[in-house]
Chains A and B, each alone.
Chain A
Amino acid sequence: MRKVYITGLGFISSIGNNAQSVAQSLRDLRHGITLFEPFQREDCPVKVAAPVRGFDVSSLDPEDWTLPEGVSLRREVLRGMSPHVAYAWCAMREALADAGLSEADISNADTGLYAASGGSPYMLHGLLTRMNDHGVMRVSPLAVVSSISGTLNFNLVAHLRIKGASCGFSSACASSAHALGFAHDEIVLGRQKRMLVVGAEDCNRESILPFASMRALSLQTDPDQASRPFDAARDGFVGTGGATVLVLESEEEVARRGAKVYCEMAGWGQASDGHNVAISHPEGAGLQAAMQNALRHSGVQASEISYVNAHATSTPIGDLSEARALRRLFTEAGLQPAISSTKALTGHGLSLAGALESGLCALALRDGFTPGSANITRLDPGCEGLRILRQTLPEAPRVILNNSSGFGGANVCVVLRRA
């Protein structure tokens, strides 16, 4: 099987807007959660979120936005964007620079782009309100392009002049892990030499608060306590947004370009719960199968895994079902890989989660640390037998599993290996 490497990373996240600051946040267990101004209303019981800093993308009109210094976009580029596309644009700039790729290097038949976001409910709502209030013919002609699921790939593929494979993935919180998996396959199958993988989400009332009524969000008012996967008192996830871009390249391309690598992406696997539209399988059956498929596909033994970046979002049901799946795969085989959920620091990025966390794992492999699971005061007894890291370890794992699970019971597991 052709080998696939991660050669570039770009982050716009609640814990940093570049790889260096993100890595430092992971080492220091510094979170990005805060009392989020748009939530501070009496009718809103949710108070915290993990917002992105350095952007003001709160207007429906992209021409009003403030982007980080040094980023300027022509009106014709900006007009079809939603907030998360602007995040992704900035993360892409960083990832391409990191990988040492020019515009010409990515605009060719050998380079593709796979993306995942939930679209922009904020833009969609604003534009539909305008349509209903002002008339069907009074909405921006870019209304559809800037708001529906797919806006992320439409914008990036067109404006980066991508000529290879392009597609958007939609499996909720497993979306960008799916994008990463299928991007890996494109290279393994020899269809593409290089894939850009993008995960992104808005971070606003419209992207996060619809999860409140299903009781999935933490109602904590103390940002330091809000996101605590595997803690006995966890009460839901903390929403975040932002973007992560990963550059995947074939072994030949890495050699030809003399590119530096973060790590190898050894393979991936997926499986579905076939259980409930929104609740994960109580025994984590689908997730366990996804991990087993990922190991088999990568030719890696469970005993080789030294770290699992768990999906664990800090919801009571989800974390427990993942803990059960991990226990059956590892503990019952006498294995003790380090386990943590970086969502304690970043918040839960929904469609962004898989790409973000695989990005964090790639950083850990290159920079030589194993991220800890923050904010655990009292470990959930359901996690007994699992080696859940409370602090970041100053040593690199050798092989990592990164889990993601989404609505409908979709489960994806990505395998990353030290290069």
Chain B
Amino acid sequence: MPDSVPAPAGSTTPVTSSSTRRFTAEDEALLRESLRRCAPSAFEAAVQFRKTGNHEHVPSILMGIIERFVEPDLRPKLREGDDDLRLVEDLGIDSLTMMEIVILAEGVLQMSINNEELRNLRNIGDIKAFIDAKIRGVPTAAPARFTPVDELSAVLPVQPPFLFLNEASVGPDGAKGKYRITGQEFFLQGHFKGNPVMPASIMIEAIGQLAMLYLIQAMPVEAGQIVTPGSIYFTGCEGIRAHRICRPGDTLSLSIKPKRSKCPLATFEGSIRVGQEKAVMVEELTLTFGLMPKPESA
């Protein structure tokens, strides 16, 4: 079985017809048939969307469609409403299921989506943002650049056993990452005796590592220059609050956003959540960095 199905590129023109064409009883019957395995709320929302063209209905239509294609035992996860839920890893949605979701969404929302556009959708938040932009006819945001764990240690100066990211996505407005506490971390043997708790200081380190990745991959700097990976160090941190004890088995969802920067300093805000629960919030974390000429080959 191929792991992705090639299909010719579809039109990328935004949808404008939904509010201009009359929504007939026949349309409603078709809609009911195609959404018959989705929650009734998705059908209601779809009727409203098709009648009024009001974009506010789109998220509940989409969530209804996605839920229908997720195995029943994984649906509670989806209902928690975490936009960071990953399609493949967390929800078991493979590329063929993604096609099924797209085909149904295309029919219900009366739009078409091409393959290129799909390739970068990694989590629920990506889908919502993408469809929303598409329906409004505004350009979709540049896709985040995803770095899996085996590439992270090639990109970052920091290495295991002191690397606290399993994967990360970097976009122009910030970065997101994941780290699953395995219980095998060496420091958990002593922190604490018989009671392994992820140290808050390490979680701040993890936020710093994500900020470091942003500096290397996405920091806007003068033309012809890049951030020197080996030049990045911690300088300060403010407004730290720890809200939740994190233990082995928890998956940390990390997020950073740049607040301001002027070489050689860059300041970020950062957060860690576990599911929807706040774990650590950092108002300001500042790193220092140096620049070097961009190598020819890059």
Residues of A within 8 A of B (CB): 63, 74-76, 79-80, 134, 137-142, 145, 154, 158
Instruction: Given A74-B71, A141-B103, decide whether A158 and B1 contact each other with a Cβ distance below 8 A.
Output: yes
Contact with A along B27-44 (1 / 0, CB 8 A): 000000000010000000
Q: Which residues of B contact A138 (CB under 8 A)?
A: 103, 106-107
State in angstroms the CA–CA spacing of A138 and B112 once bound together.
10
CA distance A137 to B99 in the complex (A): 10
**B10 close to A141 (CB less than 8 A):** no
> Which residues of chain B have a CB within 8 Å of any CB of chain A?
1, 5, 7, 10, 37, 69, 71, 92, 94, 96-97, 99-100, 103, 106-107, 112
Complex alpha-carbon distance, A63 and B69, angstroms: 11
CA distance A63 to B71 in the complex (A): 13
Docked complex Cα distance between A145 and B37 (Å)? 22
Please tell me if the beta carbons of A140 and B1 are within 8 angstroms of each other in the complex.
no
- Pair B103/A137 contact, Cβ less than 8 Å: yes
Contact of A140 among B7, B37, B94, B100 (CB under 8 A): B100
CB-CB < 8 A to A75: which residues of B? 69, 71
Closest 4 CB pairs of A and B: A141-B99, A141-B96, A141-B5, A158-B1
B94 and A76 within 8 A (CB): yes
- Most chain A CB neighbours (cut-off 10 Å) among B92, B96, B112: B96
Whole-angstrom CA separation of A244 from B149 in the bound complex = 46
Q: Is there contact, CB below 8 Å, between B10 and A145?
A: no
A110 to B97, CA, bound (A): 32
Chain A positions within 8 Å of B94 at CB level:
76
Option from A63, A76, A158 in Cβ contact (under 8 Å) with B37: A63
Do residues A142 and B96 form an inter-chain contact, with CB atoms below 8 A?
yes
Tell me the bound Cα distance from A142 to B92 in angstroms.
17
Indicate the member of A74, A75, A134, A158 with the most B CB atoms within 10 Å: A75
> In the complex, what distance in Å separates the CA atom of A74 from the CA atom of B92?
12
The residue on A at minimum CB distance from B94 is: A76
A139→B5 CA distance, assembly (Å): 13
Q: Is the CB of A137 within 8 A of B112?
A: yes
A145 and chain B: residue at smallest CB distance: B1
In the assembled complex, the Cα of A145 lies from the Cα of B1 at a distance in Å of: 9
Known: A137-B7, A141-B99. 15 other contacts (CB 8 A): A63-B37, A74-B71, A76-B94, A76-B97, A79-B100, A137-B103, A137-B106, A138-B103, A139-B103, A141-B96, A141-B103, A142-B96, A145-B1, A154-B1, A158-B1
Chain A residues lying within 8 Å of B97, measured Cβ to Cβ, are: 76
CB distance from B9 to the nearest CB of A (A): 11
Bound-state Cα–Cα, A74 to B97, Å: 13
Listed by A's residue number, 18 A-B pairs whose Cβ atoms lie within 8 Å are: A63-B37, A75-B69, A76-B92, A76-B94, A76-B97, A79-B100, A80-B1, A134-B107, A137-B112, A138-B107, A140-B100, A140-B103, A141-B5, A141-B99, A141-B100, A142-B96, A142-B100, A154-B1
* B37 CB, nearest partner CB in chain A, Å: 7
Residues of chain A contacted by B7 (CB below 8 angstroms): 137
Minimum CB–CB distance from B110 to chain A (whole Å) comes to 12
Bound CA span A139–B112, Å: 14
CA A145 – CA B100 in complex, angstroms?
Answer: 14
How far is A134 from B96 in the complex, measured between Cα atoms in Å?
20
With the chains together, A76 CA to B99 CA distance in Å? 13
Min CB gap A231→B, angstroms:
47
Chain B, residue nearest A63 (CB):
B37
- Nearest chain-B residue to A75 (Cβ)? B71
Residues of chain B lying within 8 A (CB to CB) of residue A137: 7, 10, 103, 106, 112
Q: Which residues of B contact A142 (CB under 8 A)?
A: 96, 100
CA distance A134 to B106 in the complex (A): 12
Q: How far does the alpha carbon of A138 sit from the alpha carbon of B103 in the complex, in Å?
A: 6
How many angstroms between the C-alpha atoms of A74 and B5 in the bound complex? 21
Residues from chain B with Cβ under 8 Å of A139 in the complex:
103
With a CB–CB cut-off of 8 A, which chain B residues contact A134? 107
Measured CA separation A134–B30 after assembly (Å): 11
With the chains together, A134 CA to B5 CA distance in Å? 19
- Complex CA gap A287/B96 in Å reads 45
Most B CB atoms within 10 A — which of A76, A137, A145, A154?
A137
Most buried by A among B1, B5, B10: B1
Min CB distance, B113 to chain A, in Å? 9
B114, chain A: closest CB distance, angstroms? 10
Most buried by B among A74, A76, A138: A76
Which residues of chain B are near A74, meaning CB under 8 Å? 71
User: Which A-chain residue is minimally distant from B96 (CB atoms)?
Assistant: A141
Question: A242 CB to closest chain B CB, in angstroms?
Answer: 25
Closest-CB distance, A292 to chain B (whole angstroms): 42
Q: Which residues of the partner chain B approach A79 to less than 8 Å between Cβ atoms?
A: 100
Per the bound structure, the CA–CA distance linking A154 and B2 in Å amounts to 11
In the bound complex, CA of A116 to CA of B234 (Å): 66
Q: Note all chain B residues with C-beta closer than 8 A to A63.
A: 37
Contacts of A158 in B (CB 8 A): 1
Closest A residue to B114 by beta carbon equals A137
Of all chain A residues, which has the CB nearest B73?
A74
A74 to B71, CA, bound (A): 8
Chain B residues in 8 Å Cβ range of A80:
1
Q: How far is the CB of A399 from chain B (nearest CB, A)?
A: 42
Docked Cα-Cα span, A142 to B98, in Å, equals 12
Q: How far is the CB of B57 from chain A (nearest CB, A)?
A: 22
Considering only CB atoms, which chain B residue lies closest to A154 in the complex? B1
Please, which residues of chain A bring their CB within 8 A of the CB of B99? 141
A75 to B68, CA, bound (A): 10
> How far is it, in angstroms, between the C-alpha of A138 and the C-alpha of B33 when the chains are bound?
14
List A contacts of B1 (CB < 8 A): 80, 145, 154, 158
- State in angstroms the CA–CA spacing of A63 and B103 once bound together: 17
> Measured between alpha carbons, how far is A137 from B9 in the docked complex, in Å?
10
- Nearest CB in chain B: distance from A413 CB, A: 35
CB distance from B235 to the nearest CB of A (A): 49
Within the complex, the shortest CB–CB distance from A310 to chain B, in Å, comes to 39
Chain A residues near B5 (CB-CB < 8 A): 141
